[in-house]
Amino acid sequence: MAQLMHQMQVGGGITSKHLRTREYLSRWVEDVAAGRVRETTLKDYVTIVSHHLIPALGDVPMLRLSAPHIQGYLTRKLRELAPATVLKHFRILHKALADAVRYGIITRNPCDFVDPPSVHRNQVRVWDEEQARLFIAEAKRSSQYYPLYLAAITTGMRQGELLGLRWCDVDLVLGVAHVQQSLYRRGKKIWIGPTKTGMGRPVVLPPVLVEELLGLKNRQEEMRRVLGSSYQDYGLVFCQPNGKPLHAHNISRRDFRRVIERAGLPRIRFHDLRHCHATHLLRVGVHPKVVQERLGHSQIKVTLDTYSHVLPGLQEEAVRRLEGVLWPRAGGGGGGV
């Protein structure tokens, strides 16, 4: 009775004992999650809910869904899926049930009493400065996507942000790109939406990239004149010769790997160019807050956790500098303490 009174006081009604988890999750994906996340993320929600959560937990009444139900689900999934994937299932279910608590459908979230899968973060793979120079040189020599690769390794922007970057968002006089959106593909469908964190940010461009973008813009204008009405102008900085958006998958799987092989470098992902950018900045002493802002991380903790492999070297450098300030080794002076 106390639980029912609490539900009514917080604005919820009395949940029917016949309401099944499948009914709630289906409605949640359609009505609640759809308005909060990007279309590509929603596709993942729909797949996980319809192909995994509902078949396993759908027949359990919402009022009887408990921690043992969910813990058993996670245990079974860990036998067939990677821990990171199962953790994604858990987070989606946790979010759905948190909304159920907020709407007064249930009184507490059973996911709060479950041990989620442990996922060990893999250390990011990066090239050192010499390897990065070799890649840039080879890309400039042999790849039509050189401007894209140069932008990735000198700005740290995500691939979707680069592919969605418009000329109207780039100030080549001041050398600043205002990251406002991302471009995604799912099959033949293209989505243009907000960035991963939902917030735009300015990214200062190095002079070498500004110069390359000026040349790229001139080449695009020439193609527009040659193709005439056949040119499809999306206003994108990085696009196909006819103006249409690039295929990220094709670039990553084909041209990017070929450039790496020709340069004789260890294979990394396109996304790791972003990690290279951040790692190089931290190694030369750039403050982590500046790195966070360039990368567009929502919190500086994300930056520090992701690039913790760089921190030991930074600490050694910090101690060396501190010693130089407190006990400078000036010529001819003693200065012991």
Domain assignment present for residue 79? The answer is yes
In this predicted structure, what is the pLDDT of residue 194? 82
Number of structural domains, the chain?
Answer: 2
Angstrom CA distances, 207 to 138, 210, 237, 259, stand at 20, 5, 17, 24
Residue 54 lies in a domain: yes
Task: Identify whether residues 146 and 176 lie together within a single domain.
Answer: yes
Residue-wise pLDDT tens digits, 131-144? 999 999 999 999 99
Decide if pLDDT at 3 tops 80. Answer: no
Q: Domain check: are 83 and 193 in the same one?
A: no
Residue 198 has pLDDT above 80, yes or no: no
Domain membership flag for residue 336 = no
- Asked if the model's pLDDT at residue 209 lies above 80, the reply is yes
CB 248, CB 148: distance < 8 Å: no
Read off the pLDDT of residues 221-230 as tens digits, 9 standing for 90 and up. 999 999 999 9
The answer to whether residue 97 sits within a structural domain is yes
Instruction: Say what the pLDDT of residue 297 is.
Output: 92
222 and 260 fall within a common domain: yes
Same domain, 51 and 109: yes
Inside any domain, residue 27: yes
The reply to whether 11 falls in a domain is yes
| Number of Cβ within a 10 Å radius of residue 307 | 22
Q: Does residue 215 sit within a domain?
A: yes
Residue 282 placed within a domain: no
The DSSP code sequence of 260-320 is HHHHT-----TTHHHHHHHHHHHHTT--HHHHHHHHT-SSHHHHHHHTGGGHHHHHHHHHH
Q: Give the range of the structural domain holding residue 157, as residue numbers without chain letter.
A: 132-268
Residues 225 and 259 reside in one and the same domain: yes
Does 251 share its domain with 162? yes
Quick: pLDDT tens for 254-289: 999 999 999 999 999 999 999 999 999 988 888 889
- Residue 104 maps to which CATH number? 1.10.150.130
